[in-house]
Amino acid sequence: MTVSQVMPTGNREDEIQIYDLHKSFGDLEVLTGITTTVHRGEVVCVIGPSGSGKSTLLRCVNLLEQPTKGRIFILNEEITDPDADVDHMRTQMGMVFQSFNLFPHLTALQNCSIALVRVLKKDPEEARRIAQENLEKVGLGDRGHSYPAQMSGGQQQRVAIARALSMDPEMMLFDEPTSALDPELVGDVLSVMRDLADGGMTMMVVTHEMAFAREVADRVLFMDGGVIVEEGPPEEVIGNPKEERTRAFLSRVLDPTHVHAGDEDTAYAQRHRTAPDHDGNGKLPPGTGFHSPGGVG
């Protein structure tokens, strides 16, 4: 069956359905055939080395990136259909970015209410009430009148979560929500996300926080080189990985102090097959990883 014949399952529980998703930037293939389904209330954590395509996958789901090939259904409606009402479908998925992307010219309350008023055409008073409610949900009920610049990174990210929640979305997409935060601020954001997960929100989370993935995720996707290498419950994928690539990645992430210099570069070059394979047995000559001329930044 070719991908163009794929039909959505029609099951209300299958909120995000991704079929044979490909994405290239010019000659660089970032995603090479991703197929997966995220179910209602499920928390899916996407892990993997940098450049593995996990952020691209997430950005394809709400079409911030246009897939090269493949189809994506949101609530059984195809978002990759050229005639889809993408703006409306996006109101059903909240997105949280690595760099917060709060609107700096608006207060926290205005950040949360602007789309309610302008997109959902809610009454401004009603919108304000919803915004305040969601700010309280993330523990920032008293900071409504602050501008983003007056808040810490952790607070800004929680406002960003409140902003997404204000739209009352069916699902939430998180793109490395804690990667830009100082370590001591990560906890607040993660605890808000844990509350969300406990409340039954459907979540797709690209993250490097292995402890969070292990504790909160229902399912973990390990991506490498543009494909899903391994997926399953966290205790299997993170606790007892079957694939060599997963094991190598986890050992580098969980114990970065004991990684040999250049290991990651070599692994990176192998994943992207950018360096010439001199001796033909799959091993790279020492050092080629780092200086590989075709290295992808």
Partner 1 sequence: MSAISSTTEAPRRKKLSPRKRAQRIRIVQYAVLVLAVVLAALTIDGRQLQQVFFRPDLVVQTFGPQLGTAFVNTIIYTAGAFVLGLVLGTVLALMKLSQVGPYRWLATIYTEFFRGIPAIIVLLAFSLMGVAFPGFSFPFDPYGTVWVALGMVSAAYMSETIRAGIQAVPKGQIEAARSLGMSPGMSMQRIVLPQAFRIVTPPLTNELVLLTKDSSLVYVLGLFASGYELTKFGRNLANSFANITPLVVAGLCYLVITLPLTYLVRRMETQQRKATR
Q: Shortest gap between Cβ of 118 and partner 1 (angstroms)? A: 6
Q: Do the beta carbons of residue 169 and residue 181 sit within 8 Å?
A: no
Helix, strand, coil distribution of the chain in percent, nearest 5: 40, 20, 40
Q: Which residue has tokens 């409306």?
A: 88
Q: Do the beta carbons of residue 207 and residue 213 sit within 8 Å?
A: yes
Q: Which is nearer to partner 1, 23 or 90 (CB)?
A: 90
Q: Shortest gap between Cβ of 2 and partner 1 (angstroms)? A: 30
101 binds partner 1 per the rule CB under 8 A: yes
Q: Do the beta carbons of residue 170 and residue 93 sit within 8 Å?
A: yes
Q: Which is nearer to partner 1, 168 or 198 (CB)?
A: 168
Q: Shortest gap between Cβ of 112 and partner 1 (angstroms)? A: 10
Beta bridge partners of 57: none
Structure tokens at 64: 């911030």
Q: Residue 15 has what DSSP assignment?
A: E
119 binds partner 1 per the rule CB under 8 A: yes
Each residue 195-214 as x (binds partner 1 by CB under 8 A) or -, in order, gives --------------------
Stretch binding partner 1 (CB under 8 A), from 19-27, 72-80, 148-156, 283-291: 148-156
Q: Which is nearer to partner 1, 7 or 119 (CB)?
A: 119
Q: Shortest gap between Cβ of 59 and partner 1 (angstroms)? A: 8
Q: Which is nearer to partner 1, 162 or 275 (CB)?
A: 162
Structure tokens at 218: 């229902």
> From CA 209, how far away is CA 69, in angstroms rounded?
30
Interface with partner 1 (CB under 8 A), residue from 67, 148, 177, 241: 148
> From CA 233, how far away is CA 206, in angstroms rounded?
16
56 binds partner 1 per the rule CB under 8 A: no
Phi-psi sector, 72: left (phi>0), alpha (psi -120 to 50), beta? beta
Q: Do the beta carbons of residue 144 and residue 135 sit within 8 Å?
A: yes
Neighbours of 251 (CB within 10 A): 14
145 binds partner 1 per the rule CB under 8 A: no
Each residue 80-99 as x (binds partner 1 by CB under 8 A) or -, in order, gives -------xx-xx-xxx-x-x
Residues near partner 1 (CB under 8 A): 62, 64, 87-88, 90-91, 93-95, 97, 99, 101-105, 114-115, 118-120, 147-150, 160, 163-164, 167
